[in-house]
Structure 1
Amino acid sequence: MVSGGAPRRSASEEEAKALASAIRVRILRLCLNEELTNKEIATRLDSNPATVLFHVRKLVSAGFLEPQEARSGPSGAYEIPYRATGKSWQLNLDSRDPRMRSAMIGAFVSEVGQVPASEQVTISRLGIRLTEEGHARLLERVQNLFDEFEAEKPPEGSTHYSLFLAVHPEGRPGAEPTNTTAT
């Protein structure tokens, strides 16, 4: 469920393709709480503005980013800032899709890699045995917790945090591994 109680829906092929890129997931995170121009996004990602613009256009086309009112930049140039629409929060994404796994894990690894060593990164890992019903109950409770925090209006001066959760069956000896390497 998403805030307001509306059920999540499956992503269209265009939406799934748009989110199957670590850089596009990172762009959405950057534009979630503030409007950023293509140049500002490229600077924060330490990336080429032309490459970033390609990704921004894909996200706009799929409805994940919205262009905001144009403004004059520092040198007087015409700039268009972008803001995330929150649409990605309303989708069920097929986590069995290796592209989606790679994009989400790649974005997480990149973001954690940018946290200064002086800052705390809390990491927890738990091995647990669950029935199918227990697994479904765990996922529902975690999703409800995510939805609850997503729906809250952050107080002035609050700090931005990111939370990444992966619930997966343990690999079994002799089982074919799934490629989850970010590209």
Structure 2
Amino acid sequence: MNPEPVAPHCRQPSREAGDQRDAAPDGPGSEAERDADARALASTLRLRILRLCLDEALTNREIAERLGKNPATVLHHVRTLVDRDFLRAQPVRRGARGSREVPYRATGRSWTSGAFRGKSRLLIDTFLEEVALTDPDTVEASRLGLRLGAEARDELRSRLHDVLQDFATREPDPNGTPYSVFLAVHEDVSRKVRPHL
């Protein structure tokens, strides 16, 4: 089994009937659709927007404030994510001054989209940006060196994916602490056996 790479957004999407993506001429799983998804997610800022909107619906202004960015810049990214159904607009609400505001919520679709294949550097950069904001004493990290055959490597990847998938599909605890999980399994080229001369 070859599980999809671990994506940074982990709630299963609740797809609505009549989703605009299902009506695309190339079909929802076409190469053109996957390329469009990959382009929409090819930004650490967009990945951070999705993470912010995972547990609560936020307006463009609220997103910009939390990221320390200009609202006009953020709006471009929000619209891109909405166009690809990674963010979904929620019912309009009234702001503090009575203005109409549109909050957005992450759909969780990035977890299952497969758009991160070959994008490990993007995920690493996003992780580094987010973890830089965290108290280092609260980050649990470990490293492990293994030497595995192909079958054992596939088993490791499959079992890790299954654990993450289990937690990804659970309902979030509204009183719980938000956590992020970043996982990477990579070939350790520095430990490759070199032929003796």
Fold in common (TM above 0.5): yes
Q: 1:107 to 1:94 in 2, by over 3 A?
A: closer
1:61 maps to which of 80, 83, 88: 83
The corresponding residue for 2:131 is 112
The corresponding residue for 1:73 is 95
After superposition, give the CA deviation of every residue in 1:102-156 in whole Å (9 maximum; x if it has no partner): 3211211111011135x51111111111111111111110110001111112334
Contact 2:87 2:104 in 1 (8 A): yes
- Structure with max Cα Rg: 2
Alignment of 1:124-143 (within 5 A): 124-143=142-161
Greater RCO (CA < 8 Å, at least 6 residues apart): 2
The corresponding residue for 1:101 is 120
The corresponding residue for 1:151 is 169
TM-score, structure 2 as length reference:
0.77
User: Following TM superposition, by how much is the alpha carbon of 1:94 offset from its aligned partner in structure 2, in angstroms?
Assistant: 4.8
Q: After TM superposition, which residue ranges in structure 1, 4 or more long, deviate above 6 angstroms?
A: none
1:21 maps to which of 32, 38, 43: 43
Distance between the aligned counterparts of 2:172 and 2:187, measured in 1?
34
The corresponding residue for 1:165 is 183
What's the C-alpha RMSD, in Å, of the aligned pairs?
Answer: 2.2
Identity percentage of aligned residues:
44
Number of corresponding residues: 165
Unaligned runs of 5+ in 1: 4-8, 174-183
